[in-house]
């Protein structure tokens, strides 16, 4: 057996990616199971700031355990690192991984700000390694044969997304705006905004409102948020998120001239203008997670040309969210273009496709 860097005598079919996982609690539970089930992955180590959890789980799996993230990245001969901890907990460690030639898959969000996102993208471009961000909605629709929204319903002129999440006190890091980068909008509605931006492209204006409910624990991040994305063409998208709601719900609807595409896990449907409805099979969360891991491994092993959801695509998503928070503070519509200008970034006329990433990634950053 050889790893992705090796030059042993194993056949292409035998090659595996030596991988580690950073964060094995919360969303890391499903990610760890996906890594274990992937035939292209050899799990060699794990890390979590809960020392006992890391030690016990590593013992069960027969791998190395760490509670110090820096030592984990420096000491382990990984080809790939899978990350399920929030940006504040690992930002510098991801740059360190890039400097060591380690490819990284991370759970969303990519970063808390455009400045952070740009720094990460540049670090991985410099080392010629991949940095990608998990994208549940894309794998869900692709698995159902609906990868191209425009081909399914025509160019969308409206979208509406809702994320209702029940979370109880204490919120821990999620209640700290400095560590979290914001509240429910960035933490729970990121996937909705990302899907809208990738499908309808960067909006001309964003207007947002946020609110915080007084709880039993002190915190300064929002519990409720709404954001409206407006386009010069007249297209519009609306997002609503609430983290004190019951039951937990995630839904996204695109309306186009030829019908509507509805993503409402575990349901996915296409409604046509004549009243018809097509309901293709919808993969489970377990299948979606496993598909993302497998696709990333195949990209590293050069069994696939590209990987959907490179970090550079997410720069626009982070810009829209940062603009929304600015709008919530000023009470006025704000433009994502101003952030691009502030950071001296070229304005995207449209969000890049994955085919363009390999050819022009550095130019777009």
pLDDT at residue 168 in the model: 79
Asked if residue 265 has pLDDT above 90, the reply is no
CATH number for domain 138-283+313-337, candidates 3.30.360.10, 3.40.50.12780, 1.20.1560.10, 3.30.70.1520: 3.30.360.10
Asked if residue 12 has pLDDT above 80, the reply is no
pLDDT at residue 147 in the model: 77
Higher-confidence residue of 81 and 354: namely: 81
The answer to whether the predicted template modeling score (pTM) of the entire model surpasses 0.75 is yes
Is residue 301 very low, low, confident or very high in pLDDT (cuts 50, 70, 90)? very high
Is residue 13 very low, low, confident or very high in pLDDT (cuts 50, 70, 90)? low
pLDDT tens profile 17-71: 999 999 999 989 999 999 999 999 999 999 999 999 999 999 999 999 999 999 9
* C-alpha to C-alpha distance for 155 and 146, rounded to whole angstroms: 14
pLDDT at residue 311 in the model: 96
Say which residues have a Cβ less than 8 Å from residue 355's Cβ, sequence separation at least 6: 305, 306
Q: Where are the domains of the chain?
A: 12-137, 138-283+313-337
* C-alpha to C-alpha distance for 286 and 30, rounded to whole angstroms: 7
Instruction: Residue 193: count other Cβ atoms within 10 Å of its Cβ.
Output: 29
CATH number for domain 12-137, candidates 3.30.390.30, 3.40.50.150, 3.40.462.10, 3.40.50.720: 3.40.50.720
Say which residues have a Cβ less than 8 Å from residue 7's Cβ, sequence separation at least 6: none
Name the DSSP letter for residue 344. Answer: T
pLDDT tens profile 189-211: 999 999 999 999 999 999 999 99
């Amino acid at each position: 057996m050889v790893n992705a860097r090796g030059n042993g005598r194993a056949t292409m079919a035998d090659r595996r990616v030596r991988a580690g996982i950073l964060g094995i609690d919360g969303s890391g539970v499903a990610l760890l199971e996906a890594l274990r089930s992937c035939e292209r992955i050899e799990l060699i180590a794990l890390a979590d700031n809960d020392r006992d959890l890391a030690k016990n789980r590593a013992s069960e799996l027969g791998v190395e355990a760490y509670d110090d993230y820096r030592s984990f990245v420096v000491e382990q001969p990984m080809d790939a690192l899978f990350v399920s901890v929030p940006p504040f907990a690992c930002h510098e460690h991801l740059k360190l991984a890039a400097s060591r030639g380690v490819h990284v898959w991370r759970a969303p969000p990519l970063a808390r700000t455009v400045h952070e996102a740009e720094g990460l993208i540049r670090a991985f471009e410099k080392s010629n390694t991949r940095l990608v961000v998990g994208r549940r909605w894309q794998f869900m629709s692709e698995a159902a044969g609906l990868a191209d929204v425009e081909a399914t319903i025509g160019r969308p002129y409206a979208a509406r997304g809702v994320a209702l999440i029940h979370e109880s006190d204490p919120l821990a890091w999620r209640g700290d705006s400095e560590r979290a980068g914001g509240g429910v909008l960035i933490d729970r509605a990121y996937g909705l905004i990302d899907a809208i931006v990738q499908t309808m492209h960067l909006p001309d204006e964003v207007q947002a409102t946020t609110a915080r409910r007084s709880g039993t624990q002190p915190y300064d991040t929002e519990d409720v948020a709404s954001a409206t994305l407006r386009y010069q063409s007249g297209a519009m998208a609306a997002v609503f998120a609430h983290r004190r709601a019951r039951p937990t719900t995630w839904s996204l609807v695109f309306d186009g001239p030829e019908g509507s595409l509805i993503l409402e896990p575990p349901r996915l449907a296409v409604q046509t203008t004549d009243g018809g409805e097509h309901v293709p099979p919808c993969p489970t969360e377990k299948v979606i997670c496993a598909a993302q891991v497998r696709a990333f491994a195949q990209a590293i092993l050069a069994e696939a040309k590209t990987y959907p959801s490179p970090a550079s695509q997410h720069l626009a998503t982070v810009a829209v969210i940062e603009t929304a928070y600015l709008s919530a503070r000023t009470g006025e519509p704000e433009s994502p273009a101003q952030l691009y200008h502030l950071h001296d970034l070229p304005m995207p006329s449209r969000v890049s496709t994955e085919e363009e990433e390999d050819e022009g990634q550095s130019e777009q950053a």
